[in-house]
């Protein structure tokens, strides 16, 4: 089930980014801790009252160098288009400004749920100043303070209460849901058409033809699938590409609904930084993945070209070393016959469950071969391991002290599990718990 999207909208300097960080519970505009992924974050996942959702900070969207009012208006329009609920932020110290009024008019006409947040209400005296904001027409204003963290809980209560009913189409358990993600014009729609053998999706050389996620059910050799084609993700930074942050959110919805994600790379253009960012979204979501190098027919080749390209991919996508690579051409259908068997395989790996006794045998052998290092006179002990879920496979290790687990030793354990049970095409997740008397 795709998460609802909450957008934070308002003029500059009302504290949008501070509230964004408060809601998601961490400073997210920081580099990832995985090799190969570095990116700024203007959106992140959050949870409140057991409800999960995604949050967008529109202040992080660079619209243009033109008038500020035009920038605010463009951000509001984008939020209206993509968000399920909008947090409209104003500043109690400034009162209602002309920019606030213009954004309010846009939001009011949108018919989207809007929650009005009055920021910088740091004391009781300021709280008495919120009443003028009733004139904006969005009901009760919520007094908050981003700097002190006041009122955020009440604000989020109203936000999650405003979520629309989820009416997404549900598919049978045995249907494999596959999404295609990648930069614009890498050939995702052409890929769907080539696999289906007919033109079911509009194909155009103009980047960004596919505006929304499109579900295409089909059946092959008795197996049912649904292809979810998404709007292409553009590289940020150009004025005409500013909607990209929102198309990424749209694609995130598709990724969350998927079992297998096909990350499509343009062989003609080679690997660029944006390809790694896009792949990172699938990895973070814990989905099975295949790196699909399209337009391979258009590349001039020697006997070393394929191996050199493979090496480059492995260097650039270190965080997805588990993902198989397939070089294809939607135009000529080169190697395309290998794709669906590979989709079946990685979907099986994604749903693989390991017997507890077999898992613990592998862990015991791994520890016997390579003892955990000693830290401050104490050595990590792994007492027991169990798999707690699938899609992706998640494992819990019961240990004497989780703080003693060095990241390099955790990676060693993961590699031993992969070597023993394969898990090709799927991330696996390992969690640590301190062993207690009850365990």
Q: Considering the domain boundaries, does residue 85 fall inside one?
A: yes
pLDDT of residue 197: 78
Q: Is residue 414's pLDDT more than 70?
A: yes
Helix (H) or strand (E) holding 278: helix 273-284
Last residue of a domain, one of 302, 332, 350: 350
pLDDT of residue 285: 86
Q: And the tokens for 308?
A: 């050199």
Confidence class of residue 169 from pLDDT cuts 50, 70 and 90? low
Q: Are residues 17 and 151 in the same domain?
A: yes
Q: Considering the domain boundaries, does residue 20 fall inside one?
A: yes
* Mean pLDDT (whole number) for 229-236: 49
Q: How far apart are CA 256 and CA 228, in angstroms?
A: 11
Give tens-digit pLDDT for 256-282: 889 999 998 988 888 877 778 778 888
Q: Is residue 210's pLDDT more than 90?
A: no
Q: Are residues 332 and 368 in the same domain?
A: no
β-strand pairing of 5-9 with 85-91: parallel
Where is pLDDT greater, at 288 or 277? 288
Range of the domain at 157: 5-161
The 10 Å Cβ neighbour count of residue 45 is 16
Q: Are residues 141 and 11 in the same domain?
A: yes
Binding annotation for GTP: 10-17, 57-61, 119-122, 182-189, 229-233, 294-297
Q: Please report, for residues 106, 109, 131, 239, 409, the alpha-carbon distance to residue 103 in angstroms, rounded to integers and kept in the order given.
A: 5, 10, 19, 20, 52
Reading phi first (left if > 0) and then psi (alpha if -120 to 50, else beta), residue 313 is in alpha
Q: Are residues 367 and 252 in the same domain?
A: no
Q: Is residue 438's pLDDT more than 60?
A: no
Q: Considering the domain boundaries, does residue 167 fall inside one?
A: no
pLDDT of residue 221: 87
Number of H helices, E strands in the chain: 12, 17
Q: Is residue 381's pLDDT more than 80?
A: yes
Q: How far apart are CA 344 and CA 211, in angstroms?
A: 28
pLDDT of residue 56: 80
* Mean pLDDT (whole number) for 420-432: 94
pLDDT of residue 279: 84
Q: Are residues 215 and 313 in the same domain?
A: yes
pLDDT of residue 21: 86
List Cβ neighbours of 180 (8 Å cut-off, separation of 6 or more).
188, 191, 192, 227, 228, 229, 230, 261, 262, 264, 292
Number of domains forming the structure of the chain? 3
Q: Considering the domain boundaries, does residue 340 fall inside one?
A: yes
Q: Are residues 391 and 415 in the same domain?
A: yes
Say how many residues make up the chain: 439
List Cβ neighbours of 35 (8 Å cut-off, separation of 6 or more).
318, 319
Q: Is 76 helix (H, G, I), strand (E, B) or coil?
A: helix
Asked if 140 and 111 count as a contact pair (C-beta separation under 8 A), the reply is no
pLDDT of residue 205: 45
Q: Considering the domain boundaries, does residue 44 fall inside one?
A: yes
Binding annotation: 10-17, 57-61, 119-122, 182-189, 229-233, 294-297
Q: Are residues 321 and 397 in the same domain?
A: no
Last residue of a domain, one of 350, 368, 386: 350
* Mean pLDDT (whole number) for 30-40: 39
Q: Are residues 287 and 240 in the same domain?
A: yes
HSE-up of 352 (CA within 13 Å, CB side)? 22
Centroid of chain to Cα 224: 25
Q: Are residues 304 and 189 in the same domain?
A: yes
Residue 85 maps to which CATH number?
A: 3.40.50.300
Q: Are residues 61 and 146 in the same domain?
A: yes
Across the chain, what does the average pLDDT equal?
Answer: 82
Strands (E), 141-231: 142-143, 176-181, 214-220, 223-229
Q: Is 431 helix (H, G, I), strand (E, B) or coil?
A: strand
Q: Are residues 199 and 293 in the same domain?
A: yes
pTM greater than 0.75: no
Q: Are residues 198 and 238 in the same domain?
A: yes
Q: Is 407 helix (H, G, I), strand (E, B) or coil?
A: helix
- The least confident of 2-6, 50-54, 261-265 is 2-6
The values of phi and psi at residue 168, to 5°, are -65, 150
Classify residue 270 as exposed, middle or buried by CB count within 10 Å of its CB (0-12, 13-18, 19+): middle
User: Taking each helix axis from N to C terminus, what angle separates 244-257 and 273-284, rounded to the nearest 10 degrees?
Assistant: 40
Q: In what order do the strands lie in the sheet with 382-389?
A: 382-389, 394-399, 429-434
Last residue of a domain, one of 130, 161, 192: 161
CA end-to-end span of the chain, whole Å? Answer: 33
Q: Considering the domain boundaries, does residue 166 fall inside one?
A: no
Q: How far apart are CA 119 and CA 110, in angstroms?
A: 23
Classify residue 369 as exposed, middle or buried by CB count within 10 Å of its CB (0-12, 13-18, 19+): exposed
Give tens-digit pLDDT for 80-128: 777 889 999 999 999 998 888 888 888 888 889 999 999 999 887 788 8
Asked if 260 and 287 count as a contact pair (C-beta separation under 8 A), the reply is yes
Q: Considering the domain boundaries, does residue 171 fall inside one?
A: no
- Which percentage of the chain shows pLDDT scores above 70? 80
Confidence class of residue 36 from pLDDT cuts 50, 70 and 90? very low
Q: Considering the domain boundaries, does residue 284 fall inside one?
A: yes
């Amino acid at each position: 089930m795709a998460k609802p999207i909450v957008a934070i909208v308002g003029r500059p300097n009302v504290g949008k980014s501070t509230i964004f960080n408060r809601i998601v519970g961490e400073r997210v505009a920081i580099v990832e801790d995985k090799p190969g992924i570095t990116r700024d974050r203007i959106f992140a996942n959050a949870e409140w009252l057991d409800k999960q959702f995604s949050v967008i900070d529109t202040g992080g969207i660079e619209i243009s160098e033109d008038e500020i009012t035009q920038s605010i208006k463009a951000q509001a329009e984008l939020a209206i288009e993509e968000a399920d609920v909008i947090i409209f932020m104003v500043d109690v110290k400034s009162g209602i400004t002309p920019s606030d009024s213009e954004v309010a008019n846009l939001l009011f006409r949108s018919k989207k749920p809007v929650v009005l947040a009055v920021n910088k209400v740091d004391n009781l005296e300021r709280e008495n100043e919120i009443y003028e904001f009733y004139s904006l027409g969005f009901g009760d204003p919520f007094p908050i303070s981003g700097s002190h963290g006041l009122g955020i809980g009440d604000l989020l209560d109203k936000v999650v209460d405003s979520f629309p009913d989820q009416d997404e189409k549900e598919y049978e358990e045995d249907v494999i849901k596959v999404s295609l993600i990648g930069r614009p014009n890498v050939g995702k729609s052409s890929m769907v058409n080539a696999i289906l053998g007919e033109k079911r999706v509009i194909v155009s050389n103009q980047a960004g033809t596919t505006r929304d996620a499109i579900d295409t059910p089909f059946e092959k050799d008795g197996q049912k699938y649904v292809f979810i084609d998404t709007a292409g993700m553009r590289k940020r930074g150009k004025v005409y590409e500013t909607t990209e942050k929102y198309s990424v959110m749209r694609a995130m919805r598709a990724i969350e609904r998927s079992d297998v994600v096909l990350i499509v790379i343009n062989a003609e253009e080679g690997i660029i930084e944006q390809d790694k960012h896009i792949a990172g979204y699938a990895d973070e979501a814990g989905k099975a993945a295949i790196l699909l190098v399209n337009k391979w027919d258009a590349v001039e080749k020697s006997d070393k070209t394929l191996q050199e390209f493979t090496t480059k991919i492995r260097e650039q996508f270190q965080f997805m070393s588990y993902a198989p690579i397939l070089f294809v051409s939607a135009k000529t259908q080169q190697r395309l016959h290998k794709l669906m068997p590979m989709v079946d395989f990685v979907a099986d790996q994604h749903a693989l469950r390991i017997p507890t006794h077999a898992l613990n045998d592998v862990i015991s052998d791994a520890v016997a071969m390579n003892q955990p290092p000693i830290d401050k006179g104490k050595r990590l002990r792994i007492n027991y391991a169990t798999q707690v879920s699938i899609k992706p496979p998640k494992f819990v290790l019961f240990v004497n002290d989780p703080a003693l687990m060095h990241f390099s030793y955790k990676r060693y354990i993961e590699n031993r599990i992969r070597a023993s049970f394969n898990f090709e095409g799927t991330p696996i997740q390992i969690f640590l718990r301190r062993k207690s008397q009850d365990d």
